[in-house]
Amino acid sequence: MARECDVVVLGMGPGGEAAAGQLAQAGLDVVGVEAELLGGECPYWACVPSKMMVRAGNLLAEARRVPGMAGSTRVEPDFSPVHARIRDEATADWDDAAAVERFTGQGGHFVRGRGSYTGHGRVEVEGENGREAFTARRGVVLATGSAPSAPPVSGLDQVPYWTNREAVSAAEAPASLLVLGAGAVGVELAQAYARFGTRVTLVEASERVVPAEEPEAGELLLRVLQDEGLTVRTNARVSAARYADGSFTLTLDDAEELSAERLLVATGRRPRLDALDREALGLDAEARRVEVDAQMRVAPGVWAVGDLVGEGAFTHVAMYQADVAVRAILAEAGLGEPGPGADYRAEPHVTFTEPEIGSVGLTEAKARERGLTVRTGLSQVPAGARGWIHKAGNEGLIKLVVDAERGVLVGATAAGPMGGEVLYGLAVAVRAAVPTATLRDMMFAYPTFHRSVQEALNALTAD
């Protein structure tokens, strides 16, 4: 017999956990299902532990900048404190007992096991208590997340490569590391390990690193990475991979071979759709994401949030979508008012390298693809912060993308020191469609990094 409840949340990553907790606190009978750790990728293998690595690497880099500014330093990298902090402080040795207690304390019921949505509000779980089934009276929230995606390289599936999980849980920094993929995950981990003395080779098939970002930001980051001693190969396609005698080797299309002690594959993620009844959800066999409406609704009584939706594999996107879905579910249950639908015009994301790259909205290329008449403005940091600058790692830029017909920002990039923090004001401007004339008339504090926004506004070009 299936147990009845109000809501089943299938997948308890950041979005699922947020939705399940809010619904339980609102008084609904909520069952949360998770096969791995409650909290998902972010607190155990992604956002939190990786930023501990990044922060530690940044400290080493900053210490190396002391000569010429404040005396002398001798820097001796030691990866063991990083691993200890990740193991003990961030992940509790990859134990989710505290997260489970937090959820059950909110009134939810947690089931650990591999669940599948079979249609008609029914979720079946194979787990610690054998096979269980649950039927939701008010709805099912699908939040099954994503998994690392590896490219179709000959032999790659036969070698013990790292994903981000192995990279952040490693007890020591390898002597050498090949990183396949120069998106956000690849460049963050590559730079962090390099600062601990690892010889890093970064391999990217596209023309530049962080290919989803503005070209100017990619060029800046590439220059810094090379200055720090990383080997970076762009326009490099890998044809084969092998592992022998403790060494990984990638063969490029031109027959060149690259070898290292470890191989990290960071070429993106794919939504987990295997646990879903495609027919019940109206998905065809080739679907790579779940289609939702503005309220995150897939079909009557079914909502989806997080990586599954394909609007960006970011924790903040999943939690934002969870808020939207929760409001919709509670409104249908007569426990709240309908709220606004999901709006991705000002979706932000940050790559936590040095320079830090914060972006919001459309890039110049994406804006032109949409047929907008585009004006751009570019300025270099330090437009108003020269006292901060010394050596590599502190340079940066601001790029603005303006819809010339409306005279408003539709996208912006802040690359440089604290780029993610500088991004906030730009994100507000994009979301609120603040006229560029209004932004230009503002006062920008001196000497700050965000003063470069004013310089970029003054540099706006004609299309």
* CATH code for the domain in which residue 443 is found: 3.30.390.30
Give the model confidence (pLDDT) of 164-212 as tens digits.
999 999 999 999 999 999 999 999 999 999 999 999 999 999 999 999 9
22, 127: one domain: yes
pLDDT-derived band at 446 (thresholds 50, 70, 90) equals confident
pTM: 0.94
Statement: residue 265 has pLDDT above 80: yes
Angle at 280 (CA atoms; ends 278, 285), nearest 5 degrees? 20
Q: What is the pLDDT of residue 305?
A: 98
Same domain, 183 and 237: yes
- Rounded to whole angstroms, the Cα distance separating 429 from 406 reads 13
Which tens digits make up the pLDDT trace of 121-137?
Answer: 999 999 888 999 999 99
Same domain, 359 and 446: yes
Mean local confidence (pLDDT), 80-95:
97
Percent of the chain with pLDDT over 70: 97
Q: How far are the Cα atoms of 118, 168, 183 from residue 186, in angstroms, in the given order? A: 36, 12, 5
Q: Are residues 437 and 316 in the same domain?
A: no
Mean pLDDT of 57-86: 93
Q: Are residues 382 and 399 in the same domain?
A: yes
| 389 pLDDT tier (thresholds 50, 70, 90) | low
Q: Which amino acid is at 214?
A: E
Residue 161 lies in a domain: yes
State the residue range of the domain holding 177. 156-267
Angle at Cα 443 formed by Cα 439 and Cα 444, nearest 5°?
A: 95
Does 53 fall in a domain?
no
Residue 119 lies in a domain: yes
Domain CATH number, residue 256? 3.50.50.60
Structural domains in the chain (count): 3
Residue listed under structure tokens 């005279």: 407
User: Are 214 and 284 members of one domain?
Assistant: no
Residues 302 and 383 in one domain: no
- Do both 141 and 280 map to the same domain? yes
Pairwise CA distance, residues 414 & 352, whole Å: 12
* Cβ-contact 444, 450 below 8 angstroms: yes
Which of residues 218, 249, 267 is at a domain's end?
A: 267
* Mean pLDDT for all residues in the chain: 94
Same-domain pairing of 262 and 196: yes
Confidence grade of residue 463 (pLDDT, cut at 50, 70, 90) = low
Residues 449 and 399 in one domain: yes
The helix, strand and coil proportions of the chain, stated in percent and rounded to the nearest 5, come to: 35, 30, 40
Q: Are 224 and 122 within one domain?
A: no
259 and 274: one domain? no
For 314-370, what is each residue's pLDDT tens digit?
A: 999 999 999 999 999 999 999 999 899 999 999 999 999 999 999 999 999 999 999
| pLDDT value for 351 | 98
- pLDDT band for 462, please (50, 70, 90 cuts): low
The pLDDT, as a whole number, for residue 179 is 98
Q: Which of 223, 246, 267 is the last residue of a domain?
A: 267
Check residue 415 and give its pLDDT.
96
